Chain A
Amino acid sequence: MMSALISAATPTTTWYLVLSALLFGIGTVGVLVRRNPLVMFMCIELMLNAINLSFVAFAKRMGDIGGQTTVFFVMVVAAAEVVVGLGIIVSIMRKRPGANVDDISALKG
């Protein structure tokens, strides 16, 4: 009885999409709550991963490799974005050690 129930409940695409929504929501809360720019960046990575997960789930569901190709490009752009963002953070932190995002809300030099 129990094993039949477990074997019947195979995860469907909806499960993956709901998990992706949870991950995206946690990332959103992190970006809104945390004030350390590095940790905010990590939360943005969480949100990107949530999107990647939903793309892969849709690729499986629709039988289309295009979803996986999109994830490939998202990863490349995420890598470029991390490089630029960390460069900005390093150059700000070098001038003001220990700055958080409220201290650097004015972008003009």
Chain B
Amino acid sequence: MELFVFVVAAAMILAGAIGVVVRSHPVHAALSLILTLFGVAVMFVAQEAHFLAAVQVIVYAGAIVVLFLFVIMLLGVDRTEDIKTEPFKVQRPLAVIVGLGVIGLVTAAVVASRDVVSSRGSGLVTPDMADPDSNIRQLSRSVFGDYVVAFEVTSVLLVVAVVGTVLLTRRVKPVVEKAS
């Protein structure tokens, strides 16, 4: 069962990711991104990160992809892009080589060190029927206990991001000359 879930979710993730890269229409790319994000949410559930799976669906698939689609529609770039012609002859082969190199190196490192990482700490509490919200409680103890300073700094970051975006996208009104 666990294997079945892993295989299906991995197929969703990889199909969506390849779709983002190869689909020439930006809206199709955004929809492929949703497929990947849902697959990652399934993986989060399989790894006992239930709260993060909910946040993944709400924040990523709900808010960020909608923001992407909104900007695509707003800018009117929702037309098929010509991706057959490549501007530089060597760009795509080099990019594929770099990608395969990244995958190969990380995979080699992961496989070589698969027995090194060992368990420590008190361990994750697996939620069950008797205590269904244990994952949320554990996560909130961590966020509001150990990492409370980082949490407060994050609020500053969000304020800065919102104010900066408003300043960036504001249209400067043309100065109207007063008719004298």
Chain A residues packing against B (C-beta within 8 Å) = 6, 9-19, 21-30, 32-36, 38-39, 41-43, 45-46, 49, 52-53, 56-66, 68-69, 71-73, 75-84, 86-91, 93-94, 97-98, 102
Kindly state the separation between the CA atoms of A9 and B150 in the bound complex, as whole angstroms: 39
A39 to B94, CA, bound (A): 19
- Verify B95–A98 contact, CB threshold 8 A: no
Determine the residue in chain B with the shortest Cβ distance to A14. Answer: B114
Asked if A45 and B77 sit within 8 Å, CB to CB, the answer is: no
Give the interface of B toward A (CB within 8 A): 2-3, 6, 10, 13-14, 17-18, 20-21, 26, 29-30, 33, 36-37, 40, 43-44, 46-49, 51-52, 55-56, 59-60, 63-64, 67-68, 71-72, 74-77, 81, 83, 87, 91-92, 94-96, 98-100, 102-103, 106-107, 110-111, 114, 117-124, 138-139, 141-143, 146-147, 150, 154, 157-158, 161-162, 164-165, 168-169
Chain A residues with Cβ under 8 A from B17's Cβ? 22-23, 26-27, 30, 46
A75-B53 Cα distance, complex, nearest whole Å: 11
Most buried by A among B21, B102, B120, B138: B21
**Chain A residue, CB-CB nearest to B108:** A21
- Tell me which of B30, B77, B102 contacts A42 (CB under 8 A): B30
Nearest A residue to B76, CB-CB: A97
Give chain A residues whose Cβ lies under 8 Å from the Cβ of B99. Answer: 25-26, 28-29, 32
Residues of B within 8 A of A71 (CB): 49, 52
| A75/B95 in contact, CB under 8 A | no
Shortest Cβ distance from residue B6 to the other chain A in the assembled complex, whole angstroms: 4
Main SS class of interface, A: helix
B43: chain A residues at CB < 8 Å are: 16, 19, 53, 56
Q: Are B36 and A15 in touch, CB under 8 angstroms?
A: no
Are the CB atoms of B158 and A65 closer together than 8 Å? Answer: no
Given contacts A53-B44, A79-B59, 20 further A-B contacts (CB under 8 A): A10-B3, A19-B43, A26-B21, A28-B99, A29-B99, A30-B17, A42-B29, A49-B36, A53-B40, A60-B48, A61-B119, A63-B120, A63-B124, A68-B52, A69-B143, A71-B49, A75-B60, A82-B68, A83-B67, A83-B162
In the bound assembly, the distance between CA atoms of A21 and B100 in angstroms comes to 10
Q: Are A49 and B37 in contact (CB under 8 A)?
A: yes
Q: Does the CB pair B26–A80 fall under 8 Å?
A: no
The CA of A63 and the CA of B60, in the complex, are separated in Å by: 26
Measured CB to CB, the nearest residue on chain A to B7 is: A11
| Cβ of A92 to closest chain B Cβ, rounded Å | 10
